[in-house]
Amino acid sequence: MLELFSLKGKRALITGASRGLGYAIAEALAGAGAQTILHGRDVDALERAQGAFAQRGWACSTTTCEMTDEAAVRGMAKRVLEQHDRIDILVNNAGANIRKGLLEAASADWRNVLEMDLTACFALAQELAPAMMQAGWGRIINIGSVMSVLSRAGIPAYAAAKHGVAGLTRALAAELGRRGVTVNAICPGFFLTEANQVHLQNAKFTNWVEERTPLSRWGDPKEVGGAAVFLASDAGSYVNGHLLMVDGGLSASM
């Protein structure tokens, strides 16, 4: 049974992998045997992550680009393919959230969130899927959010982008499945990450999350890793076009 979850011989690109959920996902994939390529913007953080992986005997390299720049994203994909020949597993994790409501958000805020959270997912899939299809095997895992199926006031750009991720996931699953490439999304709830520090410092919001989540707590980033390994491995080979909620039951109870 454990062989079903093995990723030995697979190459995985994880965006936004220097910290938080991206790092936890990369760690889980590497632990299952994958060779990982970690993307991020913070070069120092990437070097620390690569060093930590090397200490555990995991093959790992890094790459960087600005994810709000589609041309740069496509250029990174081409460089990765030149260096590694193919990518078997793409995890579109990099994302941003601008906490501004309809009347506060500028057009640039809207565009930046959609470029990073949605357009970059499309661009990387478009660049990397052909080699997967040629090989007859591939995994694309988009990181959505509980906001892919719900929403709340004050984050219109983020909610729109993450709903878009859900639609993109299903559309690509329908298109690529016949070529041996599955496309799924992991939709996290509220996790204890640096990105959520603004919420964690707000006792009212923290209590709101805990009261409305059936498990009565925030998630630990490592709790996303198992879902990623499942979807990336042969254990999840017949799962396609699925939104896997990893939210402690929040979306089931609201």
* CA proximity to 141, closest of 251, 31, 225: 225
Structure-block tokens of residue 220 = 């630990």
- Indicate which residue of 58, 158, 190, 230 is catalytic: 158
Spatial neighbors of 156 by CB under 8 A, at least 6 apart, are 101, 102, 105, 110
- Across the chain, what does the average pLDDT equal? 95
In the chain, what percentage of residues exceed pLDDT 70?
A: 99
Round to whole Å and give the CA distance between 68 and 193: 21
Average pLDDT over residues 113-120: 98
pLDDT band of residue 202 (cuts 50, 70, 90) is confident
Higher-scoring residue by pLDDT: 182, 198 = 182
Neighbours of 153 (CB within 10 A): 8
pLDDT of residue 144: 98
Q: What is the CA radius of gyration of the chain?
A: 17
Spatial neighbors of 57 by CB under 8 A, at least 6 apart, are none
pLDDT band of residue 254 (cuts 50, 70, 90) is low
pLDDT of residue 245: 98
Convert the pLDDT of each residue in 15-56 to its tens digit. 999 999 999 999 999 999 999 999 999 999 999 999 999 999
Convert the pLDDT of each residue in 133-188 to its tens digit. 999 999 999 999 999 999 999 999 999 999 999 999 999 999 999 999 999 999 99
Q: Domains of the chain, with CATH numbers?
A: 2-194+222-246 (3.40.50.720)
Q: Does the active-site annotation cover 238? A: no
pLDDT of residue 1: 72
Alpha helices (runs of H) in 66-136, residue ranges in sequence order: 70-84, 107-114, 120-135
pTM (two decimals)? 0.96
